[in-house]
Chain A
Amino acid sequence: MTEEPIMKTTLRSDELSCPTCVDNIESSLNQTEGVSKATVHFNTGRIEVEHDPETVSEDKLVKIVGQSGYEARISQF
């Protein structure tokens, strides 16, 4: 049995304006298949996602955050 490849992706959204939206984004990412862990930091707008890139791509993550109403982009660090 091969282990699932886990990738760490950092997204950034400068738009987060209400700490409750953190819960919205976090829960929708965490409910997505292929995402093992998602953490949203309100103050800096940093979104850390551990995911399996085969099941859910980086672009898909950006789209999911977008559905919660916030524009995000992929960041190097």
Chain B
Amino acid sequence: MESLRKLFRSLANPSKRKKVLVIVSGLLITAGWTADFFWGSALLFNTLMIGAALVAGSEIARRAWQGLQNRHTNIELLVTIAATGGLAIGVYWEAAAVTFLFLLGGWLEARTMSKTRDTLRELINMAPETAIVVDDGDRTEIPARQVQKGMLVLVKPGAKIPVDGIVESGGTTVDESAITGEPIPTEKHPQSEVYAGTINQNGSIQVRATKAGGDTTLAKIIRRVEEAQEEKAPTQRFIERFASWYTPGIVGLSIASYLFTWNLELALTLLVIGCPGALVISTPISVITGIGNAAKKGILIKGGEYLENAGKVTAIALDKTGTLTTGKPTVSEIIHFSKEAALAGVDPEEEFQKVHTVSLSDQNNQSLPSEGEELLYWASIAESVSEHPLAEAILAEEQAGHITEPDQFESHTGQGIEAALGDDHIFVGKTEFMKQKGVSIGEGINNEIQNLTKKGRTVVLVASNNELLGAIGIADQMRPNAPKMISRLRENGIERIAMLTGDAQPTAEAIAEEAGITEVHAGILPEAKNDIILEMQKQGYQVAMIGDGINDAPALASANIGIAMGAVGTDVAIETADIALMSDELMNIPEALRLSSKTLSNIRQNVVIALVTVAALLAGVFTGSVHMASGMLVHELSVMAVILNGMRLRWM
């Protein structure tokens, strides 16, 4: 009695119930064939087959009934009608096979499908359940999503970080692969940012929480991946429209063929193949697997539509700063005048001849000549209130300590800045800016500036009280993988690669040449980037724009596909781009395009498998070579074929 109750309880669990019913009806069918083979007993054979049909059919009929109660017809209803009809006209084996195969197929498909949803489950499991909160030396363990902003969280070596935050004390290396896909651990010191779901490797750290639970970067990624997987690709929408009239169409065909031929078995067989299973699953299975696999590598593709578009890209436009280069400019050279010449010179013109260029990389931490220090000092005062990226480079180089902020400051966008401190007037900017301000530039320094520009440096001139002090060469280092990425893109059949940048032509060309790009559009404004992309599209290219996601927003939006780099920590990029690369790894760009085109062809293969199966089944039914059992078998096999084909994307 107890064991019977146990059996019933386990039957309430849908997976176990399906398994039990499949096994029982399978055994009954085997027993039926055995009886037929050894004893030729038609009675036993038929009885066992009816039993099998009833066992497997009970579950199907129950679901059909549940649907009807909710005023809703479903595939289960069609199968129930077909099997009941089969029993009525005495084709017991067919009825048993149809119900058994339907259940077996559903069970196998469910098991396989749950594998495709692994990536998401792994991501969700990355977030630890609890966090150790430190308050005045007291440690309490609380659920991770209840951590408040500003709380101090202790993360032990080997533990997963439970929140997004800033390291307050301690140092360690952190495996951030869950978020960036980057296998190499990152070093963390006080002030470094850390993310929930990443793994603290060897040191104990205390983290000041900034975000917890659903607000963390990990949660955002999960949500993005989920939304992406749920968004329907154009092919999926098309197929679903097709499928929505396919089933009623087949039912109509079944009734019509019965009215014309009075052949009940033919009509029932049509009902059996009325489920558009392989068709409706063809696109989603590829999209889920493709997006899931990409997410594991730190590539966030926003949805099936973008996956399809990215698979068709023929041209690429890319931003220079922050994409091809690190986007963190540093001072590389300082050009200054020699003071002795100015002091000793009887003729003031003499000083312009004595120009010195100091390369900081050759300098090896030796201190700069005092003229160089002075140049940096004035430049730093002017730049200390500027938000220009170059300002950071200059300020990073100035080691004198405290910099006085200027009394007055004016920025001329794209040209330069002027500042005043006490009686001193400072100009920092381009050559043209200096000329406009009436600062004279000698030929000697002008040649040096030209030299540096040709090497790809951005050169900023510094003048105080209308007298030129010298110039600062600033280099934005190219990412080491840039040439490799460009050649990989060409290998993958990208016909046209163009670099778009606001920087000066010589600077841009120097980087382009190093990276292997021949088409350069330099010195252009963000709107012009947009125009170039529209022009490329007019010429028939499918364009992908690659940028940092913030300055390139219009261009990212007009391109067929917008790809943003280094998106971890910048919500804007995750939101605006069609594809967001969580890390700065350039090789993820060709990888994203490759995965997309693989997925696109996978979808096409699946649609072909599904359509060919439908056509073959219909032809088979009307030529009399496909009956109920074989119809259901072919149908279930085609569903499995489509699922397995889609799952290949996991290993691509």
Q: Which residues of B contact A68 (CB under 8 A)?
A: 14, 63, 66
Tell me whether A50 is interfacial, beta carbon within 8 Å. no
Contact B13 A27 (CB under 8 A): no
Looking at the assembled complex, report how far the CB atom of A57 sits from the nearest CB atom of chain B, in whole angstroms. 16
Q: Which residues of B contact A63 (CB under 8 A)?
A: 12
Write the chain A residue with the least CB distance to B118.
A14
Looking at the assembled complex, report how far the CB atom of B124 sits from the nearest CB atom of chain A, in whole angstroms. 7
Contact B74 A23 (CB under 8 A): yes
Q: List B residues 42-77 near A (Cβ within 8 Å).
A: 59, 63, 66-67, 69-72, 74-76
Tell me whether B18 is interfacial, beta carbon within 8 Å. yes
Mark B205-231 against chain A: 1 for CB-CB distance below 8 A, else 0.
000000001100001001100100110
Q: Which residues of A contact B15 (CB under 8 A)?
A: 15, 71
Looking at the assembled complex, report how far the CB atom of A45 sits from the nearest CB atom of chain B, in whole angstroms. 6
Q: List 24 A–B pairs whose Cβ atoms lie within 8 Å, in order of A's numbering.
A: A15-B15, A15-B114, A16-B113, A17-B281, A18-B106, A18-B275, A19-B281, A19-B284, A20-B277, A24-B72, A28-B70, A31-B69, A41-B226, A42-B284, A43-B229, A43-B230, A43-B288, A44-B117, A44-B226, A45-B113, A46-B226, A66-B14, A68-B63, A75-B124
Q: Which residues of A contact B213 (CB under 8 A)?
A: 77
Write the chain B residue with the least CB distance to A19.
B280
Q: For chain A, give the interface size range.
A: 20 to 34
Mark B631-652 against chain A: 1 for CB-CB distance below 8 A, else 0.
0000000010001000000000
Interface residues of B (CB under 8 A from A): 12-15, 18, 59, 63, 66-67, 69-72, 74-76, 106, 109-114, 117, 120-121, 124, 145, 213-214, 219, 222-223, 226, 229-230, 240, 275, 277, 280-281, 284, 287-288, 639, 643
- A18-B280, A31-B69, A69-B63 known; A77 and B222 CB under 8 Å? yes
Contact A67 B287 (CB under 8 A): no
- A19-B280, A27-B67, A27-B72 known; A44 and B229 CB under 8 Å? yes
Q: Which residues of A contact B219 (CB under 8 A)?
A: 77
A42-B70 Cα distance, complex, nearest whole Å: 20
Write the chain A residue with the least CB distance to B643.
A17
Write the chain A residue with the least CB distance to B73.
A23
Tell me whether A2 is interfacial, beta carbon within 8 Å. no
Additional A-B contacts beyond A14-B114, A24-B72 (8; CB < 8 A): A14-B113, A14-B117, A16-B113, A28-B70, A41-B226, A43-B288, A66-B12, A76-B124
| Residues of B contacting A: mostly | helix
Q: List A residues 3-26 near B (Cβ within 8 Å).
A: 14-20, 23-24
Contact B14 A24 (CB under 8 A): no
Q: List A residues 28-51 near B (Cβ within 8 Å).
A: 28, 30-31, 41-46
- A18-B277, A18-B281 known; A70 and B110 CB under 8 Å? yes
Contact A20 B230 (CB under 8 A): no
A76-B216 Cα distance, complex, nearest whole Å: 14
Contact B113 A31 (CB under 8 A): no
Q: Which residues of A contact B223 (CB under 8 A)?
A: 77
Interface residues of A (CB under 8 A from B): 14-20, 23-24, 27-28, 30-31, 41-46, 63, 65-71, 75-77
A27-B630 Cα distance, complex, nearest whole Å: 31
A14-B423 Cα distance, complex, nearest whole Å: 73
Q: Which of A15, A24, A43, A77 has the most CB of B within 10 A?
A: A43
A67-B280 Cα distance, complex, nearest whole Å: 23
Contact B110 A15 (CB under 8 A): yes
Q: Among B70, B106, B112, point to the contact of A27 (Cβ < 8 A).
A: B70
Q: Which of B12, B110, B112, B226 has the most CB of A within 10 A?
A: B110
Write the chain A residue with the least CB distance to B112.
A17
Q: Which residues of B contact A71 (CB under 8 A)?
A: 13-15
Contact A31 B70 (CB under 8 A): yes
Contact B75 A77 (CB under 8 A): no
Write the chain B residue with the least CB distance to A75.
B124
Q: Among B59, B72, B113, point to the contact of A23 (Cβ < 8 A).
A: B72
A4-B76 Cα distance, complex, nearest whole Å: 36
Q: Which of A18, A31, A65, A71 has the most CB of B within 10 A?
A: A18
Contact A24 B66 (CB under 8 A): yes
- A66-B13, A68-B66 known; A17 and B106 CB under 8 Å? yes
A44-B106 Cα distance, complex, nearest whole Å: 17
Looking at the assembled complex, report how far the CB atom of B482 sits from the nearest CB atom of chain A, in whole angstroms. 36
Write the chain B residue with the least CB distance to A29.
B70
Contact A17 B288 (CB under 8 A): no
Looking at the assembled complex, report how far the CB atom of B180 sits from the nearest CB atom of chain A, in whole angstroms. 21
